[in-house]
Structure 1
């Protein structure tokens, strides 16, 4: 009979550590002791102030009340991301957490839209997305469980204070029995026969033995890399940005229900509105701009008064070669890092936790289980990587050496194939373990002005007058629903305004 895991040790707190602790406490606490060790000397990076929709289900599965969470974390709602100045001509386009229009006779909607415009129509893609129309009006409405029209089926996420979210989950986890230890790991001891982690020793001399170790130690990779020498796969040949400068400011206006991503000289700037402040930052390439120049650019392009000192975070884009090695699994920054262009940091924490729970080991640590988790994780990161690369390489923006260098990057084969298929016939290819839906890829194809040479002949077979009538009905239905929504600030004030301290 398989011997169960009895003792789990998590190294590192922050968002990754406490999300992991909360999940394990919820699902396996009755079978194992869970200890989280975090150092008071090491500041957390605090990534993930903007999220994607799976965070809503994650909290729901834990049994967390949404309104309570929003109040505790000073959260606002997020319908998607507005991309500004990402093309040669400037302007903006919106990436929503929603589809566009409806499939007709099993043919994707964008084929009909292109055909209608070829016939003289002047339809815009975002007119057929309820989330886009809400965002344009600065409004928010929670999706109905059973929407009257499939056009109103969309998702949402949050902007929240990552530190407050970690504190919230810390209380949640400790209430479920997680042991919390403050201390710094000084040494990691491996077993002589298997090379598994046996115990960690803190600077105070205390030792903590474990059957399963979770590395949430951040970029350092204290267990997965420093102790187990797992190795790292560098992706900087595709993702040029390697530094972030972050600063918080006072709010100067009502919060938008979306994140802003603003293209700059050597990267892009984020703007994340919370209830009590605004998060700002600049992700850039040190090969193309000095830290001093980047900091000056950021401070010259923020609104509000800085309330923190600008903080620099250097990173190496890529992934650990294995997320799971022996009896250690890396979650969060210890497993690798992809710039937060699409707010995937917390999502990757969630999916790593989900894989751990799906393949939760016993003391045999079956190699097939470990191999499958590594395969799934690596595939997932490759698909996100390609989605991010596409943001930079499809644009015609060429006003600095940074953007010009992206024009000459050799694309990964899978990404090159995807783009070629869309340009040829409007087909949006999807691979296993994709984090983003076809509508997300369509957003950028159309946002960058790319239209296929051919479309599905079934779309062309629809009579012009019938097609135009259907499109106008869709457009009017969406506009009418959006007009009845509350402003984002009004929704927060009525339902989940954080209490003033």
Structure 2
């Protein structure tokens, strides 16, 4: 069969998924392909992706985006981590902070020394040695505050209005040559002989043809799910929350440089501080709570004054059996969904768009590339799934039926093995494709209440006096490093204040 080189790429759907994908493609493939994005202002978007993780900074660098301009345009604030309230134990909190707690010694992670210190009777909280946690408690932020002795700098990401960020990227992509059509797709037309997508028909009567199609239509999955019939793999037995109710609330001071995730009776509530408001939402499982009760809990616990209306969203955690099927690639919610607990939705869009660039096909039919893309994306999806399941499963809470289910549910073997290894030896199984590196796993495991039975022998090289001195030096260094750092609000007001009201 004679094939024609892929030239015309049609992206159906805008939002963060569509415009990140369009921006990535035009940045790296713009001279050799045509990129056409179709979206409609009439179609609502799911605006829950307002928190990010540090790899978003790579996107800025790739696109040469001025950080201050972006933050001002999108009402953005700084994110140093996620504060988890009432997860492992009711009434307790911890921070999953970006970066390290403490410093590594003798090529051994800090938590081994901390565990030895506890055994020796040294009173030291694990988060005493987290620059991000100490800065978060003090509501501070600045760039380049790295201390001496190897202490981590403040590793950060953003909170921003996802719809405004999509608009910001739209300007970037259109400037580089992406064509945009406003309108609604009414039909997806398939080739009779091979089932590949030939074109999409518009409400206006226009037919738009392409060689490769990218489905960014959100939960509807118009191309990958509806037209091509790719089945959905349900992961709700491990991640049972299947509803969210979202709203806004007025800004509060001091401005927190972190996302808050507070566990409730049948799920949890996010609070994401922006410059002009807070993004708020209650994620819950409908098997254990009705929508009216979930909304009441949300309204009763918002950080500022309630800003409506409340938006109710249904979802099922999981993924399409194939992320790339025939000549269609799903990116964003159209290909799968992992709830927003660790702010991974925008990261996955960024990763999958990058993989599409890296594995962009020369011809419409390249099964080797398609299979490798699917293998890689499923592997990354599974790694994040396990990290999310850890938060629910490793808990001492049994005060509601929801938490009883989570504590006693069967979990993926990949997670079970990782937890068993950490429990027995404090060792962590590293995977180079896992966006959450060992420090993240250690923080969440310890924060949720896992205390390993043993630590590595190398940690015994330090006696009690040496450990006490080592810990005192780190505390003093963090304190002195953060002493002159401005408040988060002062930083925002000085460099990137928004005019959004």
Q: TM-score range by the shorter chain?
A: over 0.9
Q: Within 5 Å, which residues of 2 pair with 1:183-194?
A: 183-194=183-194
1:65-80 aligned within 5 A? 65-80=66-81
Q: Does the aligned pair in 2 maintain the 1:143–1:155 contact within 8 Å?
A: no
Matched, 1:467 2:478: no
Q: Which runs of 5+ in 1 are unaligned?
A: none
Rate the CA distance shift 1:89–1:265 in 2: closer, same or farther, 3 A.
closer
Is the counterpart of residue 223 in structure 1 residue 223 in structure 2? yes
Alpha-carbon distance in 2 for matches of 1:500, 1:349: 26
C-alpha distance in 2, partners of 1:147/1:7? 50
User: TM-score scaled to structure 2, two decimals?
Assistant: 0.97
Are the counterparts in 1 of residues 147 and 481 from structure 2 also a CA contact under 8 Å? no
Cα gap change, 1:306 to 1:467, in 2 (>3 Å)? closer
> 2:49–2:343: 8 Å Cα contact kept in structure 1?
yes
User: 1:53 is matched with which residue?
Assistant: 54
Q: Secondary structure at the match of 1:260?
A: strand
Partner residue in 2 for 1:413: 413
Q: Which residue in 1 is equivalent to 2:356? A: 356
The number of residues matched between the two structures is: 500
Could you say what the CA RMSD is over the residues aligned between the two structures, in angstroms? 1.6
User: CA–CA distance in 1 between the matches of 2:97 and 2:242?
Assistant: 26
Alignment of 1:484-495 (within 5 A): 484-495=484-495
- Map Cα deviations across residues 63-90 of structure 1 (whole Å, 9 max, x no partner): 1111110010010000000001113341
2:92 alignment counterpart: 91
8 Å CA contact retained: 1:47, 1:345: no
The equivalent of 1:343 in structure 2 is 343
The 5-angstrom pairing of residues 145-156 of structure 1 reads 148-156=148-156
Q: CA deviation at 1:46?
A: 1.9
> In the TM superposition, what is the alpha-carbon distance from 1:457 to its structure 2 partner?
1.2
String of CA shifts for 1:219-260, please: whole Å, max 9, x gaps: 111111111111110001111100010001221323200000
Other-structure match for 1:286: 286
Q: Deviations over 1:423-451 (max 9, x none)?
A: 10111112352120111111122112321
Equivalent position of 1:258 in the other structure:
258
Q: Which residue of 2 aligns with 1:275?
A: 275
Q: Which residue of 1 aligns with 2:102?
A: 101
Q: Which runs of 4+ in 1 moved over 4 A?
A: 146-149
Tell me if structure 1 keeps the 8 A contact 2:242–2:285: yes
TM normalised by structure 1 equals: 0.97
Taking a change above 3 Å as real, the CA distance of residues 107 and 289 of structure 1, as seen in their structure-2 partners, is: same
2:448 aligned with 1:442 = no
Distance (Å, rounded) in 2 between the aligned partners of 1:24 and 1:8: 9
Q: Secondary structure at the match of 1:163?
A: helix
Unaligned runs of 5+ in 2: none
Deviations 1:368-390 (A, max 9, x none): 11111100100101111111111
Contact 1:230–1:325 (CA under 8 A) maintained in structure 2: yes
Cα deviation per residue 1:436-492 (whole Å; 9 max; x = unaligned)? 011111112211232111111111132332232222212211121122211100111
Taking a change above 3 Å as real, the CA distance of residues 109 and 290 of structure 1, as seen in their structure-2 partners, is same
Partner of 1:482: 482
